[in-house]
Amino acid sequence: MDIVNQLQRQFIDHSTSLHREGIVDDQFTELQKLQDENSPDFVVEVVSLFFEDSEKLLNNMARALEQAQGVDFKQVDASVHQLKGSSSSIGAMRVKNACIAFRSFCEAQNREGCLRCLQKVTHEYSLLKNKLQSLFRLEQQILAAGGSIPVAK
Amino acid sequence: MAVDETQFHVLAVDDSVIDRKLIERLLKTSSFQVTTVDSGSKALEFLGLNDGNDNDEDVGVNLIITDYCMPGMTGYDLLRRIKKSSCLRDIPVVIMSSENIPSRINRCLEDGAQDFFLKPLQLSDVNKLRPHLMRT
């Protein structure tokens, strides 16, 4: 039972730091609450969709900003708007906030500003992805050791 | 065919795959039967409105919940199309948006939306749907 307790402790610590650092907010907790025996992999499934979708959007933004003939800021903004929405839906607070800042540079048609924002959003996204993947790994380890995942409050 | 009177069928319209997954889970958790589509035109197709023809089919949808911002047909355009249709106009329509724009909200409500929710949707919002539901 000791290994399970250790893993559960790690899970709680990791989860707490995710919230404390603002990487996720209460919406992520809401997602966790929606997971039950009818939908045991709900969080991983939604987050996987989010990862796939986000990487596509980030690529779209990069490509649009690279255009030598002139940047289509409306196109960049459309992708940022989508990423803002989806990050908000899963509780990825820092990614969402980075998108909000990004949109004002799109509106201002400021290419340099947009490139800086893209860098920031990409950084926040990578951080989120790493941390969530660690969290999911801990969950798998707990379950494999016969334990249960501590419930989010 | 015996119909389970307590299970209402909701049609959810959203171009975001993440939001479709989320709303489906929220609705199923609240014991609704759910169909999700990714656009207004697919919604109209599902509802039996093909090429502007009004199909008098019983489509069995008790409520439509739609995102506002979608490419092509917006949630507002969809609302208007539904309200123009003699066989669909009585189906309650609820609109969701990530943006809190009072003029947008008012316009939707004035043009027949039953309610307007800010995203991300919560279970408490889904619980507010029941009073709006239509018994077919």
Give B86→chain A minimum CA distance, Å.
Answer: 34
Region of B72 on the Ramachandran plot (φ > 0 left; ψ -120 to 50 alpha; else beta): left
Contact B29 A30 (CB under 8 A): no
Contact B16 A82 (CB under 8 A): yes
Instruction: Give the SS3 label for residue A110.
Output: coil
Confidence category of residue A153, pLDDT binned at 50, 70, 90: low
How far apart are alpha carbons A137 and A140 in whole angstroms? 5
Nearest CB among A31, A36, A88 relative to B119 is that of: A88
What are the extents of the domains in chain A? 1-145
Give the pLDDT of residue B49: 82
Give A31→chain B minimum CA distance, Å.
Answer: 8
Contact B22 A89 (CB under 8 A): yes
Q: Does B21 touch chain A if contact means CB atoms closer than 8 Å? A: yes
Confidence category of residue B54, pLDDT binned at 50, 70, 90: low
Q: Using one digit for the tens of pLDDT, what is the confidence trace for B72-107? A: 999 999 999 999 999 899 999 999 999 999 999 999
B4 assigned to some structural domain: no
| Mutation target among B25, B117, B123 for the A interface, most CBs of A within 10 A | B25
B87 assigned to some structural domain: yes
- Half-sphere exposure for B59 (CA within 13 Å, toward CB): 25
B126 assigned to some structural domain: yes
Q: Using one digit for the tens of pLDDT, what is the confidence trace for A50-109? A: 999 999 999 999 999 999 889 999 999 999 999 999 999 999 999 999 999 999 999 999
CATH code for the domain of B15: 3.40.50.2300
Contact A46 B26 (CB under 8 A): no
Give the pLDDT of residue B130: 86
Nearest CB among B17, B98, B119 relative to A49 is that of: B17
* Chain centroid, CA B7 distance in Å: 16
Give the pLDDT of residue A45: 98
- Residue A113: closest CA among A60, A69, A77: A77
Nearest CB among B21, B119, B122 relative to A46 is that of: B21
B130 assigned to some structural domain: yes
Per CB-CB distance under 8 Å, the chain B contacts of A77 are none
Chain A residue with the nearest C-alpha to that of B70: A82
How far apart are alpha carbons A150 and A99 in whole angstroms? 31
**CATH fold label, A1-145:** Four Helix Bundle (Hemerythrin (Met), subunit A) (1.20.120)
More confident residue, A123 or B50: A123
Give the pLDDT of residue B53: 58
B1 assigned to some structural domain: no
Give the pLDDT of residue B60: 87
Nearest CB among A31, A34, A89 relative to B119 is that of: A89
B2 assigned to some structural domain: no
Per-chain mean pLDDT for chain A: 95
Domain membership of residue B17 as a residue range? 9-134
Q: Does B109 touch chain A if contact means CB atoms closer than 8 Å? A: no
Give B97→chain A minimum CA distance, Å.
Answer: 9
Give B116→chain A minimum CA distance, Å.
Answer: 17
Number of domains in chain B: 1
- Half-sphere exposure for A147 (CA within 13 Å, toward CB): 19
Q: What is the ipTM of this complex?
A: 0.93
A and B: number of Cβ contacts within 8 A: 51
Contact A88 B120 (CB under 8 A): yes
